[in-house]
A and B are shown apart, each in its own frame.
Chain A
Amino acid sequence: MSAQSGLNRRGFLTRISAAGGALLLGGCDQLSQSPTFRDILGKAEGATQRVQRFVLSHRSMAREFSESELSKHFKANGSINVEDASYQSMVRDGFANWRLKIDGLVERPTSLSLDELRRLPSRTQITRHDCVEGWSAIGKWKGAQLGPLLQSVGLKPNARYLVFHCADMMSPGAPYYESIDLIDAFHPQTILAYDMNEQTLPVPYGAPLRLRVERQLGYKMAKYVMRIEAVASFSAIGGGNGGFWEDRGYEWYAGI
């Protein structure tokens, strides 16, 4: 091979690499927006969920902390208030007339006042809250355990998920909602929290009731919970992906 042809080949390869680099960077944004490609990338969620569920027993507990480790400042994220007039009037009277509705695929649909919830078997836990954005904060939560409550209303055999309908609108016309499966619903640390850091749950943190699912990220822990609906599938609710953020591309299984 002559030196000349070698140089030409090198020049050609260099140009190819440069063009390839530009294509790669521009192409990544295009791929990011392609529904097919997003679905392929999304396959990782299934693998993550299966492996995590395999290594997590039903009793594996999220770590609990001591009082001295409580965050002095706990960021209130997402919705920090509810504009709705009926919600505001409930805030004024301390949620005296608020009732949590439990319906859908349950044997005995019911509704509970805050006082009735407070009389149910409760659990207090100091846990680390991990936001999908990357930050963590430690708070103390007290609430009714979801498992015993579900046993008392009786789930129908075809109930597979619990959908939490919330009062807040994260964006206009799109009320916040979330869903968990029965594995998380019956976990001992899954509670409907009405107290935070030994105070009645403040409005920015989801008054009067928020969900705590301690082995997942913060966005699963719906605030301003108004209604719990047992369903066989969440495909007909909201955007069909099981939650407000799930409808916007986030994973339904938020264990990582």
Chain B
Amino acid sequence: MDAENKAIGESVIFRHALVVRLTHWVNVLCLLVLLMSGLQIFNAHSRLYFGNNSVPENAVLVMRAAQKADGTPVGLTTIGNTTFDTTGVLGLSTSAGGQLEARGFPSWITMPSYRDLATGRRWHFFFAWAFVLNGLAYLAYSLWSGHIKRDLAPSRPQLRNIGHDILEHIRLRFPKGEEAKHYNVLQKLAYLAVIFVLLPLVVLTGLTMSPGLDAAFPFLVEVFGGRQSARTIHFLCATGIVLFVIIHVGMVLVSGVWNNMRSMITGRYRIEPAE
């Protein structure tokens, strides 16, 4: 949302500023590449730990291939003390070439699709730079233009009525008329959590895995409880971002996909009249 939600014609407002639209789509591309190349990097050692040491007793997640008593290969995923059979998806899956292979995440979600840590790292670090610079551009614009204060900070009445909003969301009933000109309170809180918690955290935990930056900023490792903890939190943040995107895209689909898409491409958003 931008400026004074300038009315264009009868029921169309100008919702998203050019900088917001541009950084949004650059962010989509960056996050997609970062996720897929990140899973390639994860596959080089498909285990997660807490602490500074990759010893089995510190493991919280293990994906591996094994053999059943009769020799059939299986993919196993262990979270904490519970093991799941995840054959075909996690631990053991079919490669792009059609062969069964031991790998954490399957080939259709890693970049490159075949096992290649060096190339996965190239994609990841290039797009990590793009992601950070894009995020900084968004933040600078949003602080300077008042976008965050005006459009994202929930108002007191909104916060008071949060229960009502949650019920309306569950029923998939979305605001119309005057109310539809602003983000609702759940949207605002979700966007704020992603912009100011999840995304900064994924960057910081990523940087904490760097032995170079750990020497420059030793407190980073302390804050996250060790390099392996940072790697685990990095993975959890990525999971959180994926969950956010699923809900975000779901909401876009059910609340008027074409209107929403157009507003994020051209900036124009049609307001449905209140009943």
The residues of A with any CB-CB pair to B shorter than 8 Å are 10, 25, 28-29, 32, 38, 40-45, 47-48, 52, 55-56, 60-63, 65, 69, 71-73, 75, 128, 130-138, 214-217, 245, 248-251, 255-256
Contacts and interface: CB of A to CB of B under 8 A. Distances in A.
Nearest to A59: B215
B152 interface: no
B215 A215 contact: yes
Contacts of A136: 52-54, 227-228
B223 to A, nearest CB: 13
B200 interface: no
Interface of B: 36, 41-42, 44-45, 47, 52-55, 96, 108, 111-114, 116-119, 121-123, 125-126, 128-129, 207, 209-218, 221, 227-228, 231, 258
Q: Which 10 A-B pairs have the closest CB atoms?
A: A255-B212, A249-B118, A135-B54, A134-B45, A256-B210, A41-B122, A44-B126, A133-B44, A32-B112, A44-B125
Nearest to B40: A32
Contact of B121 (A40, A55, A250): A250
Given A128-B52, A134-B231, A44 B214 contact: no
A130 B210 CA distance: 9
B53 A132 contact: no
Given A52-B210, A256-B210, A32 B111 contact: yes
Contacts of A249: 116, 118-119, 122
Nearest to B37: A28
Contacts of B45: 131, 133-135
A16 to B, nearest CB: 13
A251 B117 CA distance: 11
Given A52-B216, A56-B216, A136-B54, A32 B119 contact: yes
A63 to B, nearest CB: 6
Contacts of A217: 211
In this complex, which of A32, A134, A214, A215 has the most chain B Cβ atoms within 10 angstroms of its Cβ? A134
B52 A69 contact: yes
Contact of A63 (B118, B218, B231): B218
Given A136-B52, A215-B215, A250-B118, A41 B123 contact: yes
A108 B55 CA distance: 45
Q: Which of A47, A135, A137 has the largest count of B CB atoms less than 10 A from its CB?
A: A135
Given A130-B227, A250-B118, A214 B211 contact: yes
Contacts of B212: 52, 56, 215-216, 255-256
Contact of A55 (B44, B117, B216): B216
B31 to A, nearest CB: 14
A138 B122 contact: no
Contact of B126 (A43, A65, A132): A43
19 contacts: A10-B258, A28-B36, A29-B113, A32-B123, A43-B126, A44-B128, A48-B129, A55-B213, A71-B55, A128-B52, A135-B45, A135-B54, A214-B211, A217-B211, A248-B118, A251-B121, A255-B210, A256-B209, A256-B213
A40 B128 CA distance: 14
A68 to B, nearest CB: 11
A43 B133 CA distance: 15
A65 B209 CA distance: 17
